[in-house]
Structure 1
Amino acid sequence: MKKHTTLILSLFLSIGFAFAQNTGDLQSSATIPIAEIPTDPNVKVGTLPNGLTYYIRNNGKPEDKVELRLAVNAGSIMETERQLGLAHFMEHMNFNGTKNFQKNDLVDYLQSIGVKFGADLNAYTSFDETVYILPIPSDDPEKLEKGFQIIEDWAHNTTLSEEAIDGERGVVLEELRLRLGAQERMQRETLPKIMYGSRYADRLPIGTKENLENFTYDDVRSYYKTWYRPELMAVVAVGDLDVDVMEQKIKDHFGKIPATTNGQEREEYELPNHEETLIAIASDPEAAFSQVNIMYKDRKNAQPMVTIDDYREGLVRSLFSQLINNRLGELRNSPKPPFIFGFSFYGGTFARTKNAYQSIAQTSAEGQLDGLRALLTENERVKRYGFQQGELDRAKKSIIARLEKAYNDRDKIESGRIVGEYVNNYLEQEPIPGIEWEYETTKRLLNTITIQEISDLINVFIHNDNRVITLTGPEKEGLPKVTEAQVLALINEVENSDITVYQDEAVRESLIEKLPAPGTIVSTTKNDALGTTTMTLSNGAKVTIKKTDFKNDEVLFQAFSFGGTSLYSDEELLATTFANGGITQAGIGGLSLTDMSKFMSGKIANVSPFLSNSSENFRGSAAPKDLEVLFQMVHLYFTDINKDEEAYQSFVSKQKSFLGNLMANPNFYFQDKVGNNRNEGNPRYSGFPTPEKYDASDYDLAYAKFKERYADAGDFHFYFVGNVDEAQVAAFAKAYIASLPGLNSNEKYIPTKFREKDIYEKFVVNKGTDPKSTVSIAWREETTYDRKTEMAAMALGEVLTIKLVEKLREEEGGVYGVGARGSLSKITFTDFDFSISFPCGPENVDKLVAAALAEVEKIKKEGVTPEDLAKVKETYLVARKEQLKTNRFWMNSLVSLDQEERDPSYILDYEKRVNDLTAKDIQSVAQKFLDDNYFLAILMPEEK
């Protein structure tokens, strides 16, 4: 249910310059000496007399819903030595008993109104903050009032009973257990150097096992009393509700919290500077991946973005990141790539007070020094020669294109995507000027930014002091360990090496050099119930359009044709399975991936072909202005996909680097062994990818079979959903799809012959040294299809999840998370699939398996309670209400109708089918399918 800041997540979230939402007029610096970034007038910001800050915005998407947040400006960094892990523990306790909601009552109530535990109701704790997340219906006054009561209780009405505290210890200890492993062990070695000399090095939010087992009741109560104070909190409310109503709710619920007197100061903890280069090298026998990271921490503390000059500096840094990453992307796609991926960015560290420039790469186990050399060399190349104007011109186009898309959709943005900006404004003073202001200001400022000032940033970013280099990866026999001396020598080598200037090669301006002779549209039909138009083209292809107003600047695309790899022989399938992913790596129309990246600057369109067992497919999207580019790409994938052995080998090299030590990870090893067991005797099962399987793959055959699968456009069905213009799509369809070959093959897929064993089996895998286990209980059976069974199977998964959380987590305290899932598939045979899975301690496996199966038996014997059935139905109906207003839902539904040969009522009658679902339907499915013939797979630690 909870999430926490981790190193990798922090790094990825910090990439580039985050564009916030904005509105206002750019004022001339001639009349105002220091022009400040305005605050979006669409958001109301206020402070109560007790010091609590609030943000309110009316936003109608989705309808009848408000996103609520409670942000507490305190996290694990505020803990005393006796409180390690208690900021996060306190977050848990807010879901386990408050003044108005006794233990379990909160989750029970929210489930009854369609708010799912974990998926909707959530929270996270990091070093510096704790944030609670609550979406609530806004069309019912009682539900809305309860929502504000919940976040008020979180703020100052947690009961913290001794019984509840002791009951939650087990859950949090299970969460800590989940984190055990190679990554955690290596982080313990690297973090003290990354966060050298700071409090952050020993305040990980999860805390320590010793303290979580032994802290006193007063320790957690003291943390709550000390830091949950109104002047350290903000309430954010964004959604489909009048601003005045929301403001009054906040005043009513939070205005009565007493102001703090003599509260402990909320310190900002420093990240000290250091003269030397710190090097941390950590390896572990269970590490699956290798990574190198160069961090140049700023000498000065981070300052908030306040003025337009600050905003402009952010744009300069964003452009720098895009330019260097374009170059690293080219290296990644080179014939002999030095890394699986690499990127650089300027942004935050664990510490709020310090920013850093970082360059990161994932490499092969043997290639850490090669990856490090590549990163150092590209930074040094910029330092010596800077960037080139062509690179900057393309980067500016890309920034404007992305920002223009956000601007065009400014009245269609979901509340859940807005609310986080206001949380960040409170916690870290990130500006919130509004998209209108930002769009106009960015366009104006980009014209003033020169290639020289971007290039000069490298001299600010990289320096010999405050530098930290970390290398993490596997430890195994025959793999030499990288030493600090090697790293230091490599730094000196690169600084004194001959490095040539970057060569920026231009690409052609048109994607298709010779336009094909167009085809025609032979018929057009409409389905008024679904709101679709379907054109049949002269080559037999079909194009279905659904125009929506959900987004102004979005068109989604999919296509499929029956057949897929089911038409391959067993030998062909095994020879090509892993090669198929490398086919698109050569590019299209004579353009490489690097060429395509340059060509697409300023354009928003993407297309990916892919093969499945039953069909050949496309997936993509485009801004309406770039829809023709999407059509052109589709045409080229049919007619002119490149064949390039070097590009393919580059792909294989990266895949082998990624997979080289994968099986050292207990979870991947477990999945591989379970897959092999369940597919015993299946001649078409390829299993987990391995370097050896890539070596044995046949690129020539894969390419030939791909061309064969895409030789006939006439049996494809193409779908476009979003802000589409029917006349425009018709014109593009005639030009780029109807002009493709139509062979009238009308192929069908060959149904899968293999069936998994329908017998009881207990399968135990021993792998790993940590005291952690994983349990999977699975039922699978061929059956006949009907809609009622399908819905009941899914609902059974939802109901059982509710009961398992109550039993295994809340009552037993034996798991952090547990879930059940049921489905009924029609492709390529009607397949009932049901599973229960959870992680736990090895000593609790037998007890928890028995408890889980007892819940299954209880449903089979006693059925489903009316309360649980009502929760599931409400969850389904609330979710569908939102789904109906999204392009992705309609795209998936329309494709599914045709792929699974359903009639439109499958979509249109959903609400009726939900309401008609009975407890007996669910019980019957459990009785019929959840028998004694289940597969029990258990991951256990290695025996010592």
Structure 2
Amino acid sequence: MLFLQKFLSIAGGICLLALTAQVHADDNALPWDKRVVHGELENGFRYYLFDSRQEADAPKGLTLANLVVLSGAIDEEENQLGVAHMVEHMVFHESDGLPSGVRKALTDMGLKQGRDFNAMTNSENTRYMVNLKNTTAEQLNTVLGIYQQIAFHAKIKASSLDKERLIIQEEWRGKLSHRSRVNDEKKALLRVGSLYPERPVIGTQATIKNTPADQLRTFYQDWYAPNNMALVIYGPVDSAELEKQIKRTFGSESKRRLPKRHPKDPLLDTDLKIGQLTDPGSKMNRVAFLYRFKNEQSNTDESRRDGLIDYMTRNLLTDQIRRQREILPDHVRVLSSTKGSVSPKVDILGFSVNVDEGYHALGLKTLIQELERIKTHGFYQQDFDQIHQKVQRVAERNKDAAKSRGSIWSIKMVDAVTSNKVLYDPKESNDRLLQLVKTISLDDVNARLRHWLSSPDRILYTQAVGGKNIDIGSAESVVALFAKARSRQLGALEKEKTVAIKVLPETASSGSVSLTSRNTELGVSNWSLSNGDQLTLLDPSVLADRYQIPTLDSDTKSYFTAVSAAGYNVKQGSTWAEQIAVQMANATGIYGWTDEEFQQWRKDNNVFLSSKQKAQSLAYRGSIENHGLDKLLGAYRVNQVTPNIDTDVYDSIMASLKRNASVDVVRPIETFSRRLAQARFGKDQAALALSDLTPLSLEKLDQIRHKQVALPVHYFMVSRLPEKEVTNLVAAYLANIPRDTASYDQSSYDTAPVVQQAGQAIVDVSLNPEPKAEYRLYAYQSVPWSPIAALQLTYLGERLEAQLKQRLRSEVQGVYSVRVGLELNKDTDRAELKIQYSSSPARLDDLAEMTKSVLSELPSIVTEEWAKEIQAAFAEVEQNRLEKAFDATMVHRLELSEILYGDARYLGEMDKLTSGLTLNKLKAFADTLNFNDRVTGFYRPLD
């Protein structure tokens, strides 16, 4: 999609290979990558083929076939709103050669909608996707025949359209939300002067209901022409034979004259346009300023050089904006920038700040001052030198990195086709970039920066909590602020801080470890540490031999997990405090170091520890190359030995929490969710309030953090290093961590699981500002955890979702999508079920009854055909998982087994998992599930 995404967030670096260009060739044009076979039939139908057998590690048997129609919503007339998307739906119905429908032809091949085939429409194009797992020539020819029916022979009957309207209405309804309203407002501002805001892809409720079938047929005849299409195939294909088949299948349709296309690019002007996001659900105060300018690309060295200058300027700007945050005044924060495209030939560069209530004017003044400061001074030479070197490093690396892309080839080819670009050979293109980057100087980059920041087409918008009106001033007053900033002597730009190279503090003395048990058949050993902690260590090579999993060159990592009982749901004290203490400790990094020092150390040593706190546990997890295991263990040790919270971290996080808590906007959906939580858990699940934060001084949170790390820990490690080497490191870094719970009131450690209460309840509210109803079901049933039961529930959840989609969507066209979650919670020994969908308010109660009916018939959805299907599917998934990520899989299963069984038996029984997927066992298990303990929620429109 060409509309700006992730707007006003800091953009990451771009792969230099993205600097492909639109096809306007000259003498130095680069050709398509030779590995892609491409051509054009006499009727203008284009094709792009990649034989995946060219790459040794390509997914075996996988084919990704895409039919791209180079038209979308932007090509609609005023009386055709939503028609491109409606046509996408209708071509799955009857066609000349498939009177029972394209969808049935695909399902008759054993393919499932959503998983194996799908379609999507955006403003510029429509795409049809079919995935084949174990490709045969016969299957692929069948898909080509189906694509021919989609492309040229759809009937688009009025009677079928009337049924499909209900599905499309529910798709439209499902998108209604606070977020969509804000995105629509933003899109209207950013794309002002173009047709994009006037051509919503899905249409409107009125056009979905009333547009006649002949309008769809007109659009189909106009734009579904062979000279407006492309076929993109990635798979194990004989390209020469496939080219012949494509010509036979698609070559007989005549080339057609296409209607005149609407302009896609907005008309740029010299005006400053001022707007505001007014949705009442807004929870932030923000000021944003944006520049729009033309950016045309072509397959020339001049354009490639321009692309490099853009890339370098954008990266330098991102870094400089980050530094300028250090000098923002009080009440202004989160200075950020982004650059993207609003149309094929128009880019947008945006800047924003968040502000406190009542400080929008200060935010605008600050934003203008920083923009003028950057524009006046330009970038530093030393920063330019660094990005110059980075471009060369990336280009050199990409020569080899892009040689083996796997299925990403499909994405790259489709992107090139839909953007009218060329997918270059990585070596040729990067060699060319390496030549061109030598011609780029700091002056070139600063000139590009000033060009962007001098664009006369500008947009200013504000956003306020609750959608309140903000008087930011007139265009003239804003222009005057720029002039005033230019007239001032603006200070120099912030420079990159010099970051001290840090090393972890050395351990005073090692502890000791002693073996308590060993299972040689599984390669598992259990150890007691001198501080009372426990270690379970797995040598995965033993199990790899047992399950005949070959060793990979990438099997050079060690995996680490540390689990304690420091959960947040304490019976005495503040659950918020327990969570905030962990958050602040993680943000502190290593106490006594600056954040820059810690981040640089992590980057240099590739050490990344994540934490996850649950109601009754706290876990730290990380993995690292074997040679760096001491650094990983050392970082964890410092986290435990020096658990103090940095003062600046405390001030920053607490200020953010208090700001959020002071926002008095409660969206209707949040009220509904809280009432559901009240019914489920029997207590108010209100958001964090100022009253919760007031008692939480730095000293209080420090005490809580010290209390947390005093708890004993169970470590789980998976490593192919020699056992002695691992245990020596454990003795040096872990066994000497002090654990002293005796210093604390033992009742302060008591936690409780967060579980839904028994019984049935209904929450029925009419608060939705949108013409949409929502259904939610939360249910549970006690089921002892076991690997097989967990697996059975996963597949039963998928089956239940498919059955609900069949009943609620396909049979009665009542919903567009259904989401079902069914899993076995190892912490509570409960099978937990969640069902959610949206619908027409008038049909909600009937659909709820149908849902109840499907649930009551759970055993009947288990069929022999389905059981065989999931057995094969799981066997494939499991084999792939073990072959590609054996060690990572083992650390998770080792932890599960030891915590739930007290031993490693799960690792020795992994080959028995499929035994639970037989018809009889699945039926027997499903027969025990009734989910009588449930809470049902109905979220209806305002009365």
Shift of 1:674: 1.8
Q: Which residue of 1 aligns with 2:223?
A: 227
1:580 to 579, 582, 586: 582
Separation in structure 1 between the aligned mates of residue 736 and residue 160 of structure 2, nearest angstrom: 67
CA distance in 2, matches of 1:941, 1:124: 29
* 1:445–1:7 CA distance, 2 compared to 1 (3 A): closer
The match for 1:468 is 459
Name the amino acid aligned to 2:836: S
Instruction: Flag structure 2 segments of 5+ consecutive residues without an equivalent.
Output: 542-549
> Considering only aligned residues, what root-mean-square deviation do their CA atoms show, in Å?
4.4
Return closer, same or farther for 1:68/1:736 CA change in 2, 3 Å cut-off: farther
Alpha-carbon distance in structure 2 between the residues aligned to 1:323 and 1:676: 49
SS in 2 for 1:816: coil
Change (3 A) 1:395 1:497: same
Q: Residue by residue, what CA displacement relative to the aligned partner does 1:384-411 show, whole Å, maximum 9, x if unpaired?
A: 2222244445556766777787667556
Residue aligned with 1:380, SS: helix
Aligned to 2:937: 937
- Structure 1 residue aligned with 2:14: 17
Aligned positions of 1:672-821 closer than 5 A:
672-681=674-683, 688-690=687-689, 693-710=692-709, 715-719=714-718, 726=721, 738-742=732-736, 752=752, 755-821=755-821
Structure 2 partner of 1:282: 277
Q: What's the offset of the Cα at 1:838?
A: 0.5
The match for 2:258 is: 263
Matched residue, 1:164: 160
The one-character-per-residue Cα deviations of 1:751-795 (angstroms, maximum 9, x if unpaired) are: 735642221111123333212222111211333234443333222
Q: Secondary structure at the match of 1:284?
A: coil
Change in CA separation of 1:329 and 1:304 when aligned onto 2, cut-off 3 Å: same
Name the CA shift for 1:33/1:785 in 2 (closer, same or farther; >3 Å): closer
Aligned to 1:850: 849
Report whether the alignment pairs 1:352 with 2:344.
yes
Cα offset, 1:856, TM superposition: 1.8
Aligned partner of residue 306 in structure 1, secondary structure: coil
Q: Aligned ranges for residues 36-115 of structure 1 at < 5 Å? A: 36-57=29-50, 58=52, 59=55, 60-98=57-95, 106=103, 110=107, 113=110
What secondary structure is seen at the aligned counterpart in 1 of 2:201? coil
CA distance in 1 between partners of 2:528 and 2:694 (Å): 43
Inter-CA distance 778–181: structure 2 relative to 1 (3 Å threshold): closer
Aligned amino acid, residue 842 of structure 1? P
Residue 374 of structure 2 is matched in structure 1 by: 382
3-state DSSP class of the match of 1:296? strand
TM-superposed CA distance for 1:459, in Å, is 0.6
Q: Is the 8 A contact 2:282 2:665 kept in 1?
A: no
Check the 8 A contact 1:381/1:502 in 2, yes or no. yes
SS at match of 2:806: helix
CA contact (8 A) 1:408 1:553 kept: no
* 1:85/1:208 contact within 8 Å kept: yes
Mapping 1:236-315, distance limit 5 Å = 236-244=232-240, 246-247=242-243, 250-254=246-250, 256-266=251-261, 268-298=263-293, 300=294, 302-315=295-308
The corresponding residue for 1:608 is 610
* Partner Cα separation in structure 1 for residue 143 and residue 915 of structure 2: 25
| Residues in 2 aligned to 1:624 and 1:388: alpha-carbon distance in whole angstroms | 39
Q: Aligned runs of 1:446-457 on 2, under 5 Å?
A: 449-457=440-448
AA at the equivalent of 1:216: P
Q: Which of 476, 501, 509 does residue 510 from structure 1 map onto?
A: 501
Query: For 2:808, what is the secondary structure of its paired residue?
Result: helix
User: Does the 8 Å CA contact 2:379/2:446 hold for their aligned counterparts?
Assistant: yes
- 8 Å CA contact 1:290, 1:473 repeated in 2: yes
Larger CA deviation: 217-226 vs 189-198: 189-198
Q: Give the distance between the partners of 2:369 and 2:913, measured in 1 at CA.
A: 61
Give the counterpart letter for 2:73 in structure 1.
S
- When normalised by structure 1's length, the TM-score is 0.84
Deviations along 1:51-96, one digit per CA (max 9) or x if unpaired, are: 2222222154333212222222111000012210011122222444
Partners of 1:135 and 1:812 lie apart in 2 by 28
Contact 1:820-1:835 at 8 Å conserved across structures? yes
User: How big is the shift at 1:272?
Assistant: 0.9
The Cα offsets for residues 262-289 of structure 1, whole Å up to 9 and x where unpaired, read as 3324454332121110111131222344
How far has the Cα of 1:445 moved from its partner? Answer: 5.8
- In structure 1, the partner of 2:128 is 132
CA shift digits 1:537-590 (9 cap, x unpaired): 998655657698779699685522232326955305342323432333234254
Say if 1:904 and 1:820 are closer, same or farther in 2 by CA, change over 3 A: same
Give the whole-Å Cα distance in 1 for the aligned partners of 2:527 and 2:432: 43
CA gap 1:842/1:310 in 2 versus in 1, 3 angstroms = same
TM-score norm. by structure 2 comes to 0.84
- How far apart, in 2, do the equivalents of 1:333 and 1:628 lie? 34
Classify 1:295/1:497 alpha carbon distance in 2 versus 1 (closer, same or farther; 3 Å): same
User: Residue 733 of structure 2: SS of its match in structure 1?
Assistant: coil
Matched residue type, 1:356? I
Secondary structure (helix, strand or coil) at the match of 1:44 reads strand
Distance 1:868 1:102 in 2: 27
Q: Is the 8 A contact 2:324 2:494 kept in 1?
A: no
Report how far residue 202 of structure 1 moved.
0.5
Mean alpha-carbon deviation: is it higher for 519-528 or for 119-128?
A: 519-528
The Cα of 1:492 is off from its aligned counterpart by 5.0
* AA matched with 1:43: V
Read off the aligned partner of 1:210 and give its amino acid letter: A
Deviation (angstroms), 1:218: 0.9
CA displacement, residues 462-514 of structure 1 (integer Å, 9 cap, x when unaligned): 1251111222344367x755454675565555445553223325434533165
Whole-angstrom distance in 2 between the partners of 1:246 and 1:904: 51
CA distance in 2, matches of 1:176, 1:858: 30
How far, CA to CA, are the matches of 1:441 and 1:700 in structure 2?
59
Question: How far off is 1:873 after superposition?
Answer: 4.5
Report the CA distance between 1:191 and its aligned residue: 4.0
- Bigger drift between 190-199 and 652-661 goes to 652-661
Q: How much has 1:868 moved relative to structure 2?
A: 4.3
Contact 2:30–2:429 (8 Å) recurs in 1: no
Equivalent residue, structure 2, for 1:837: 836
Superposition deviation, residue 414 in structure 1: 3.8
Higher mean alpha-carbon deviation, 830-839 vs 518-527, is at 518-527
What is the letter of the counterpart of residue 652 of structure 1?
M
Q: By how many angstroms is 1:368 displaced?
A: 4.7
Aligned to 2:214: 218
CA–CA separation in structure 1 for the residues paired with 2:195 and 2:941: 34
Which residue number corresponds to residue 546 of structure 2?
none
Give the letter for the 1:771 counterpart: P
Gaps of 5+ in 1: 24-31
Identify if the C-alpha distance between structure 1 residues 192 and 80 changes in structure 2 by more than 3 Å, giving closer, same or farther.
same
For residue 325 of structure 1, report the CA deviation from its aligned partner.
Answer: 2.3
Question: Per-residue deviation at 1:132?
Answer: 2.5
Match of 1:28 in 2: none
Higher mean displacement: 360-369 or 780-789: 360-369
* Higher-Rg member (1/2): 2
User: Could you tell me how far 1:207 is from its partner in structure 2?
Assistant: 1.2
Distance, in Å, in 2 between the alignment partners of 1:736 and 1:385 is 52
Aligned to 1:323, which of 291, 311, 316? 316
Residues 587-596 or 401-410, more deviating:
401-410
Give CA deviations for 1:79-134 in whole Å, capped at 9, x if unaligned: 01221001112222244445566668737955985x65435533322211122233
Name the counterpart of 1:174: 170
